[in-house]
Structure 1
Amino acid sequence: MINLLRAELFKLSRNKVFWTLTLIVTVVFALLHYLITVGWWKMSTPFTDAGLEIFSSLALATTPFYFMLYLSTLAGFFVANDFTIGVVKNIVMSGNYRRHIFAAKLIILSLGSVFLAVVCPLLIIIGGKLLFGFGSITDPSSLGYLARSMGLFLLHLLALTALLMLIALLAEDSGKTIIISVVIAVLSSIAEVLRPLPGVLETIYQYTIFHHLIDSFRFGMPIVDGVRSLSVGLGSMVILACCGSLVFKRKEMK
């Protein structure tokens, strides 16, 4: 298992798509962060309400449609593409357990996703503050809110990564993986805009990771809602990971 993790980590470090996405995310988010910080782009966010204006640009970075574009691209070229070129078949034929192969790919894909969706924006925010003095914290006591929000967001992001992994396994093609993922992101964005949804659709949407990805940063979240968000994230991650492992175990390698 350790060797599989090292191999997948090496592949990620040499993956040109990953570093291209890192560059794109860094440049785009740095520009957005600058425009919001200097007041050119005015927007109301939970971070402003919490007295953490320095993190206001995270409201854009944590929008599902925004990061689904590049996370689905990473999943497509890091996971699905391995089926196209026959890499997965060679790994399976080497005698490794399929559940170990799946787990290694999911763990490294999750690390790459967290780096792109969370680490890069935070580094830009911190770097902008240290180098140029961008942003401010008017209420340091609200840092607990930030820790709680980021914890819930990371949990749902890992569940989303498991979903992208499952889509990549079923599609076995980078293009199909990206298209399916983007369609799901568009539908979830439409659902968020049209809320409240009619009838049972609203209840179903409230228990999806897409809703809780956004809701994670709600300021003044009651304990009951926090527990529900935690349960949805953990449950979704376990179910999606188990489904992905089962699909990979039964998949015919070509």
Structure 2
Amino acid sequence: MSNVIKAEWFKLRKDLSFRTLLLCIAAAAIVYPLLVIMDHTAGEPEVTSLEFMQNVLAGNAYVLKFSAALLAGFFISSEYSTGVMKCIASSGNSRIRLFAAKLLVFTVGTALLALTLPVVATAVMVIANGDAGSLPLPFVLRALGFTVLYAAGFAGIAALFSTLLTDSGKSIGFLFILFLLADSLFAGAGGFIPFIGTLYDYSIFKLVNNVPIMERSGGQLSAMVVVPVVWFLMFGALGILAFRKKEIK
């Protein structure tokens, strides 16, 4: 299993799409706080690093979703069309191990992309403002931890559908539409079917928007932790099932 994971990690590090996404997000993370500082009008109160980080985390939900969709298309689906997946499947390793290793490394890659914007952008703002003390360490660690958890949740969904669709363009297009419209569809259907409304309340699509919030009750914190883990395990299991039954050409 460790050798399979090492092979997948090597492929991720060498993957051009992953490197390009990482560099683009990092560049945006450096430029954005500088634009905020330059746009500051004299006489207005400065934006603290805490306020800035909360704003970045709110927008980072979209970066997280789109990064998962793009990386899934290029890192997973493309291997079906290029024939790499056929070679991997015939390597002698069980399909469960192969998919589990692919999912684990893909999740790490998605988490790294999701962390880049809040970490780099906030660091630039702290350096510019010199107000590192305005950032409560427990909030920072909790927010970054939640970012990793929700990156894993969305990675599980992306890995499943990229395995089912096996085409980069189709996978990316479908996942973009799914991640963009899920909130509207769930919220709209929940107005007519209470069960769907309850499901949406405990879905990663809704709870990911709560990452920037500082104050939460114990029950809310538990839900924020448990829900992405459950979704990751659930969609990971579905992905394994789909991969085991899939005919790879």
Evaluate the alpha carbon distance shift between residue 68 and residue 234 of structure 1 in structure 2; reply closer, same or farther with a 3 A threshold. closer
CA contact (8 A) 2:22 2:116 kept: no
Corresponding residue number in structure 2 for 1:52: 50
Residue from 95, 117, 129 that aligns with 2:114: 117
> Deviations along 1:51-84, whole A, 9 cap, x unmatched?
7245245235422x33322321111010000011
> Deviations along 1:135-183, whole A, 9 cap, x unmatched?
634545x321222232223212101111110010011011111111111
Corresponding residue number in structure 2 for 1:32: 32
- What pairs up with 1:128-147 in 2 under 5 angstroms? 129-130=126-127, 133-134=128-129, 136-140=131-135, 142-147=136-141
Aligned residues: 242
Shift of 1:39: 4.9
What SS class does the counterpart of residue 4 from structure 1 fall into?
A: helix
Corresponding residue number in structure 1 for 2:74: 77
Residue 249 (1) aligns with residue 244 (2): yes
What SS class does the counterpart of residue 52 from structure 1 fall into?
A: helix
Residue from 90, 93, 101 that aligns with 1:93: 90
- What pairs up with 1:206-217 in 2 under 5 angstroms? 206-217=201-212
Residue 198 (1) aligns with residue 191 (2): yes
Q: TM-score, normalised by structure 1?
A: 0.84
Partners of 2:190 and 2:143 in 1: how far apart?
Answer: 25
Shift of 1:125: 3.0
CA contact (8 A) 1:205 1:211 kept: yes
Corresponding residue number in structure 2 for 1:44: none
Evaluate the alpha carbon distance shift between residue 37 and residue 246 of structure 1 in structure 2; reply closer, same or farther with a 3 A threshold. farther
Residue from 147, 152, 158 that aligns with 2:146: 152
In terms of mean alpha carbon deviation, does 51-60 or 147-156 score higher? 51-60
Partners of 1:156 and 1:206 in 2: how far apart?
Answer: 15
Q: TM-score, normalised by structure 2?
A: 0.86
Unpaired runs of 5+ in structure 1? Answer: 42-46
CA contact (8 A) 2:12 2:18 kept: yes
Partners of 2:126 and 2:107 in 1: how far apart?
Answer: 28
Evaluate the alpha carbon distance shift between residue 219 and residue 129 of structure 1 in structure 2; reply closer, same or farther with a 3 A threshold. closer
One-letter amino acid of the structure 2 residue matched with residue 228 of structure 1:
A
CA contact (8 A) 1:106 1:162 kept: yes
CA contact (8 A) 1:188 1:210 kept: yes
Partners of 2:183 and 2:35 in 1: how far apart?
Answer: 23
Partners of 1:195 and 1:247 in 2: how far apart?
Answer: 29
Residue 226 (1) aligns with residue 232 (2): no
Corresponding residue number in structure 1 for 2:44: none
Give identity over the alignment, percent: 26
Shift of 1:207: 1.2
Residue 183 (1) aligns with residue 180 (2): no
Shift of 1:215: 1.1
Evaluate the alpha carbon distance shift between residue 75 and residue 162 of structure 1 in structure 2; reply closer, same or farther with a 3 A threshold. same
Partners of 1:213 and 1:240 in 2: how far apart?
Answer: 17
Across the aligned residues of Structure 1 and Structure 2, the Cα RMSD in angstroms comes to 2.6
